[in-house]
Amino acid sequence: MPASAPPPSPSAQQPLRARLARIWVYFQQWRLGWLIVVLGTVTAALTEASVPALLKPLLDEGFAGGRLSPWVVPIVIIALFALRGVAHFASQYALVRIANDGMKTLRRQLFGRLLHAELGLFSSQSASQLANTIVYEVQTGATTLVYAFLHVVRESLAMLALTGYLLYLNWQLTLIVFALAPVVAFIMRTMSKRTYRYTRHSQTSTDQLAYVVEENVLAHRMVRLYGAENQQAARFERISHELRGVSIKAAAAAAAAMPLAQMAAAVALSLVIGIALHQSATGRGVTVGSFVAFVSALVMLVQPLRRLTDVVGSLTRGLAALERGLDMMAQVQPEEEENAAAAPELPERATGEIAFENVSVHWGEEGAPPALDGVSLQLRAGETVALAGPSGAGKSTLLNLLPRFVLPTGGRVLLDGIPLQNWPLARLRAQFALVSQDVVMLNDTVAANVALGASDIDRERVQQCLRDANLAEHIATLPQGMDTVLGHNAAQLSGGQRQRLAIARALYKDAPVLLLDEATSALDTESERLVQRAIEHAMRGRTTLLIAHRLSTIEHADRICVMERGRIVEQGTHAALLAAGGLYARLHQHGGEASLQ
């Protein structure tokens, strides 16, 4: 079934002036550019009325009276069009600069919000939706809206100039044009609302379509393995069909405005011609030149009127696109620093002493089983503590509390005796290095990935970290060595090589606490051996909290904590836990896999 239309944007409920004021902030910086736009636009608009104004003396004094030089009007027309061309070029160039400056400013702020957003954002919105908003919606909205604004101003000024000339020539006939103005305004207002509504709906459908593409790119092997191509093609076709429908409706709403406005203009023109002929017949001073000039100005008035109705769709599409980015920025909340400002003097480098005091974490609704239930655990500086237990026991949740990727709903966590909420986030996270089973690499060089976050890359240190991670020999075989660009998530490296590159990154950071989240899972025996050797090197002199998929990899930990249903049910050395015959011993008997249900 097609998705229903999205709920109205919060900004759509605001008056138009307030909505435009939000956007104006990003396009007001280049004052000289706006001055050029205004001068150029005014000049171009005034020349609109100059052309019919030249027809009156040309016909009355040139053709009829013969008192006008044959070269005056052509020379003036050429000069007017040259002036109009220069004004048009200057205003267009200035507007391109304004649009791109505003686009850059808004994108910078949106991306900055993304980098510091609460982590819940990434579970509530897909990567394609966020990328579409920041990259494409902002570009489309800024370009469309600014150009639409230019057309609105230019065509409005042209209409004013032509209307003023019409009043000067014959105010009675001009009143007929004024009488139809409310009709045109009603048409534009009605079609603008319809276009805006369909545009918002099409944005939602576009996001859904992009998400389907994203999922199928990421899961391309599974789709082929399970023969789901036809199923996914049908899913893509359903959403694509819905997008087609709302896009056609949006285009139809915008297109309907033009013929309706033109019909109103045709009625006005017919009445004007009839009344002008009557005035001429009754001898009211309507000359051929003044009549032709009036009709020409009236016909020319239809053009900016038509362009104004055309621009309604562009204006609403651009406004909707930019408002979407602004709404996202308003809704995205940064991670809380809490009481960091009131904290005591903090060390640049922690010793690595960690304490969990009666920590609880609850997900979901009231009454749901907790992810962690009153966990208390002490880690001495330099100690290696392993977490074992069945899937869903709370191991990863406990580990993610340390860099504050997860916040406790009860109890507290301390680093060097200081509650985590009293550490500034940047200072806190500088104390941890993480190697997980889901390695993420950027589409950058090997050196940049190892020295991630460093302002300057120490190439000798990168090389040493690669050696310590047992990866230097392979990197040396790459075309540009450590300057080789890895591509999307380092796809040219094997799973074991990517894990070792992640360990090299952790070594380069040289944090006092090392977090290992199943860093050797899903690796073959040889890759696991190399990765384990690299991990052992990384653990030296650091407090280490690790989660292991295979219990054989944690046998030499200083202490093993066994978790079940969000609680620590056993802890001790490998030998002591085996002798106790509890959950750890049962896990060990089932092949040493910490995934027993």
Per-residue b/e over 90-113, b at no fewer than 16 CB within 10 Å? bbeebbeebbebbbebbbebbeeb
The reported pLDDT for the residue numbered 37 is: 83
Q: What is the pLDDT of residues 165-212, one digit of tens each?
A: 777 777 776 776 676 667 666 766 676 677 767 777 777 777 778 778
The residues, ordered by sequence, that sit 6+ positions from 266 with a Cβ below 8 Å of its Cβ are none
Contact 70, 62 (CB under 8 A): yes
Rounded-to-integer distance, Cα 454 and Cα 462, Å? 11
Residue 110 has pLDDT above 70, yes or no: yes
Rounded-to-integer distance, Cα 531 and Cα 594, Å? 19
DSSP 277-338: HHHHHTTSS--HHHHHHHHHHHHHHHHHHHHHHHHHHHHHHHHHHHHHHHHHHHHPPBPP-T
What CATH number matches the domain at 14-331, 3.30.950.10, 1.20.1560.10, 3.40.50.720, 3.30.200.20? 1.20.1560.10
The reported pLDDT for the residue numbered 312 is: 66
User: Span 559-578, mean pLDDT?
Assistant: 90
Rounded-to-integer distance, Cα 345 and Cα 388, Å? 35
Burial class (CB in 10 A: 0-12, 13-18, 19+), 369: exposed
Residue 445 has pLDDT above 80, yes or no: yes
The reported pLDDT for the residue numbered 154 is: 76
**Angle made by CA atoms 429, 434, 440, in degrees to the nearest 5:** 110
Contact 2, 242 (CB under 8 A): yes
Using CA atoms, how far residue 72 sits from 54, 78, 80, 145, 216, in Å, is 10, 10, 12, 41, 69
What are the start-end ranges of the H helices in 219-286?
220-225, 229-281
Longest C-alpha distance within the chain, in Å? 122
377 or 346, which is more confident?
377
Place of tokens 């009293």: 422
**Reduced to 3 states, what is the DSSP secondary structure of residue 572?**
strand
Confidence at 402, pLDDT banded by 50, 70, 90: very high
In the structure encoding, which two tokens stand for residue 316, read together? 């609403």
Q: Strands, DSSP E only, in 422-506?
A: 432-436
Contact 394, 566 (CB under 8 A): yes
The reported pLDDT for the residue numbered 378 is: 93
301 or 536, which is more confident?
536
In the structure encoding, which two tokens stand for residue 587, read together? 């896990």
The reported pLDDT for the residue numbered 543 is: 92
Going from N- to C-terminal start, the domains of the chain cover: 14-331
560 or 26, which is more confident?
560
Please state the separation of Cα 464 from the chain's center in Å: 38
Please state the separation of Cα 380 from the chain's center in Å: 43
**Reduced to 3 states, what is the DSSP secondary structure of residue 544?**
strand
In the structure encoding, which two tokens stand for residue 265, read together? 């203009």
Q: What percentage of residues in the chain have a pLDDT greater than 70?
A: 73
DSSP 3-71: PPPPPPPGGGGS-HHHHHHHHHTTT-S-HHHHHHHHHHHHHHHHHHHHHHHHHHHIIIIIISS--S-TT
Confidence at 334, pLDDT banded by 50, 70, 90: low
Average pLDDT, the chain: 77
Residue 431 sits at φ, ψ, to 5 deg, of -90, -5
Q: Which of 133, 146, 139 is nearest to 331 (CA)?
A: 133
* Range among 4-13, 238-247, 584-593 rated most confident: 238-247
The reported pLDDT for the residue numbered 84 is: 81
Helices (H) and strands (E) in the chain, counts: 20, 10
